[in-house]
């Protein structure tokens, strides 16, 4: 039914695939027979056809889409793949303003679908809101073995940065890909830099982000019109929690508490007394935390140098260690070609490594422990390894109205143990 309607309205499927759908033709058809057109579009969504989603998006822009369009698209997202997943997330992001849908597009670029689907995701990200996950996915796309994926990922970063030049990542020298990707990502290092707050009262001036070394950042503090002396390059996790240290437990952000916190951060020459507005002080602290979080999140989602295992099957991707505190570390878990730590990929290393060791011992003892029960980092993943080696998993969504994503991949115990043991060695190093 849908396929006949699709050919009737849009024409030859081959031309639609290569030249795109004539959405104006759909709009005209909807004007003539709205009930039939909406019925057919629902059938197209049920058939996971991205043309139906594009059509609903066009009708929504004209205020003529069915009232349940958002609910309809949300209901299909958990089972969506490839271009259909990209278009569905695009339209949902446009209609709801919820930026979490950007991660659904990023997941297609990060994954192992056909190279044309990854290209489509890279192109789509250029037109969506800038998020840490989108920047990191485009950076990862510039390391893709397919030249056109690298090219469009580079164009995506350039486009989001407002640049018109062409990316230079088309060569076959893999050693040159990461420096080129790092250079383009660096265009966003100044995005959150600058002065947050009022220098006459309280302000924090942040220098550019360093995505390769995310744990330290230049930061200068101004208090009552004076720049405080002290260490310029601050430990980001400590600086990020300046508001927490100052207001915990739920105290007003008064100067006595702030002074102790700034002294602990290494700032000198603080005045004995300063009058601060509670709301303005809290707003400054929130702005600083948001800026630091954005850039740290970009770093933690980027492709890491340490990859243990096969991302298309099972792997752990471990980010750089914090030189001033090894307790927290980015660790992205991959399963069946997808990230299964999509919301929290920062592990508390002592607990996380201990959990991995326990599982290694259980596997070696002939047991089949609950797969990936490794603490908060893997809370969104439920998985069971069956005796025949089939791992069935469910990945929970944190987007309202979007269901869980399910899948299965065959893994051997030896493969799992090898990945876990090597990861423990990295954490212990």
Last residue of a domain, one of 145, 164, 188: 188
Q: End of a domain among 150, 170, 188?
A: 188
Are 166 and 234 members of one domain?
no
Q: Do 319 and 379 belong together in one domain?
A: yes
Residues of the chain with pLDDT under 70: 169-171, 244-254
Report the CATH number that the domain containing residue 22 is assigned in CATH: 1.25.10
pLDDT at residue 377 in the model: 94
Q: Is the same domain home to 243 and 183?
A: no
110 lies in the same domain as 70: yes
Sequence-separated (6 or more) residues with CB below 8 Å from residue 173: none
Same domain assignment for residues 76 and 146: yes
What pLDDT, on a 0 to 100 scale, did the predictor assign at position 124? Answer: 97
Of 300, 318, 352, which closes a domain? Answer: 300
**Residues 262 and 317 placed together within one structural domain of the fold:** no
Based on the domain organization, do 18 and 150 belong to the same domain?
A: yes
Residues 114 and 73 both lie in one domain: yes
Tell whether the torsion through CA atoms of 105, 370, 314 and 390 is positive or negative: negative
Q: How many domains does the chain fold into?
A: 3
Q: What share of the chain is helix, strand, coil (3-state, %, to 5)?
A: 50, 15, 35
For residues 181 and 200, membership in a common domain is answered with no
How open is the CA angle 24-26-29, to the nearest 5 degrees?
110
Query: Nearest Cα to 335, choosing from 419, 265, 261?
Result: 419
Task: Write down the residue that tokens 């002396």 correspond to.
Answer: 229
pLDDT of residue 48: 97
**Which pLDDT score, from 0 to 100, does residue 247 have?**
63
Report pLDDT for 248.
61
DSSP letters for 91-108? HHHHHH--THHHHHHHHH
For 172, counting Cβ atoms within 10 Å of its Cβ (0-12 exposed, 13-18 middle, 19+ buried), the class is exposed
What pLDDT, on a 0 to 100 scale, did the predictor assign at position 253?
59
**Span 113-166, pLDDT tens digits:** 999 999 999 999 999 999 999 999 999 999 999 999 999 999 999 999 998 777
Q: Which domain holds residue 236?
A: 194-300
Same domain, 169 and 200: no
Residue 153, CA distances (Å) to 70, 168, 177, 209, 327 in order: 28, 11, 12, 21, 33
My answer on whether 175 and 210 are in the same domain is: no
pTM recorded for the entire structure: 0.92
**pLDDT at residue 250, as a whole number:** 63
Shared domain for 295 and 323, answered yes or no, is no
């Amino acid at each position: 039914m849908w396929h006949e309607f699709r050919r009737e309205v849009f024409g030859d499927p081959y031309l639609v695939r290569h030249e795109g759908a004539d959405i104006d033709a759909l709009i005209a058809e909807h004007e003539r027979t709205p009930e039939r057109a909406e019925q057919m579009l629902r059938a197209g969504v049920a058939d996971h056809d991205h043309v139906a989603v594009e059509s609903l998006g066009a009708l929504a822009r004209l205020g003529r889409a069915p009232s349940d369009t958002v609910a309809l698209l949300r209901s299909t997202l958990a089972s969506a793949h490839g271009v259909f997943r990209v278009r569905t997330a695009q339209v949902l992001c446009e209609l709801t303003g919820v930026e979490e849908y950007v991660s659904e597009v990023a997941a297609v670029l990060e994954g192992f679908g056909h190279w044309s689907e990854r290209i489509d995701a890279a192109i789509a990200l250029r037109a969506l809101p800038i998020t840490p996950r989108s920047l990191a996915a485009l950076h990862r796309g510039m390391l893709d073995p397919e030249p056109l994926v690298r090219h469009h990922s580079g164009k995506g970063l350039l486009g989001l940065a407002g640049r018109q030049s062409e990316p230079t990542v088309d060569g076959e020298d893999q050693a040159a890909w990461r420096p080129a990707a790092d250079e383009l990502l660096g265009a966003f290092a100044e995005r959150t830099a600058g002065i947050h707050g009022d220098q006459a009262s309280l302000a924090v001036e942040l220098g550019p982000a360093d995505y390769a070394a995310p744990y330290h950042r230049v930061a200068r503090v101004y208090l009552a019109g004076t720049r405080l002396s002290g260490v310029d390059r601050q430990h980001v996790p400590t600086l990020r929690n300046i508001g927490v240290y100052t207001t915990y437990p739920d105290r007003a952000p008064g100067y006595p508490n702030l002074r102790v916190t700034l002294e602990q951060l290494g700032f000198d020459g603080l005045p004995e007394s300063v009058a601060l507005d509670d709301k303005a002080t809290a707003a400054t602290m929130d702005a600083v935390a948001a800026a630091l979080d954005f850039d740290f999140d970009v770093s933690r989602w980027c492709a890491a140098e340490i990859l243990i295992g096969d991302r298309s099957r099972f792997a752990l991707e471990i980010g750089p260690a914090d030189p001033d505190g090894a307790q927290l570390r980015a660790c992205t878990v991959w399963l069946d070609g997808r990230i299964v730590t999509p919301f929290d990929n920062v592990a508390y290393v002592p607990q996380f490594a201990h959990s991995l060791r326990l599982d290694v011992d259980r596997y070696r003892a002939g047991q089949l422990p609950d797969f990936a029960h490794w603490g908060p980092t893997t809370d969104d993943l439920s998985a069971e390894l069956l005796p025949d080696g089939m791992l069935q998993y469910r990945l929970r969504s944190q987007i309202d109205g979007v269901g869980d994503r399910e899948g299965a991949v065959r893994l051997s115990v030896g493969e799992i143990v090898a990945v876990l043991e090597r990861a423990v060695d990295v954490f212990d190093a």
